[in-house]
Amino acid sequence: MEADGGPLGCVVAGANVHDTKLLRETIEAMVVDRPDATPEAPQHLCLDKAYDNPTGQTAAEAAGYVPHIRRIGEEKMDASQRQRYPARRWVVERTLAWLSKCRAILVRYAKKACNYLGLIKLACVLLWFRRLHRLEGVLR
Instruction: Report yes or no: 136 and 11 within 8 Å, Cβ to Cβ.
Output: no
Which residues, in sequence order, are bridge partners of residue 45? Answer: 67
Higher pLDDT residue, 87 or 44?
Answer: 44
What is the pLDDT at residue 113?
A: 86
Question: Residue 8 falls within a domain, yes or no?
Answer: no
What is the pLDDT at residue 74?
A: 64
What is the pLDDT at residue 83?
A: 61
Contacts of 133 (CB under 8 A, 6+ apart): none
Q: Is the pLDDT of residue 76 over 70?
A: no
pLDDT digits (tens, 9 = 90+) for 60-70: 888 888 888 87
Structural domain count, the chain: 1
Report, as an integer, the average pLDDT of 103-120: 85
- The long-range contacts involving 7-13, CB below 8 angstroms and separated by at least 24 positions, are 7/95, 7/99, 7/124, 7/127, 7/128, 8/32, 10/117, 10/120, 10/121, 10/124, 11/117, 12/113, 12/116, 12/117, 12/120
Report, as an integer, the average pLDDT of 74-81: 62
Q: Is the pLDDT of residue 11 over 60?
A: yes
What is the pLDDT at residue 86?
A: 57
Q: Is the pLDDT of residue 140 over 80?
A: no
Q: How far apart are alpha carbons 140 and 138 in whole angstroms?
A: 6
Question: Residue 95 falls within a domain, yes or no?
Answer: yes
Q: Domain span at residue 74?
A: 19-139
Question: Residue 102 falls within a domain, yes or no?
Answer: yes
Question: Residue 118 falls within a domain, yes or no?
Answer: yes
Question: Residue 23 falls within a domain, yes or no?
Answer: yes
pTM of the model: 0.69
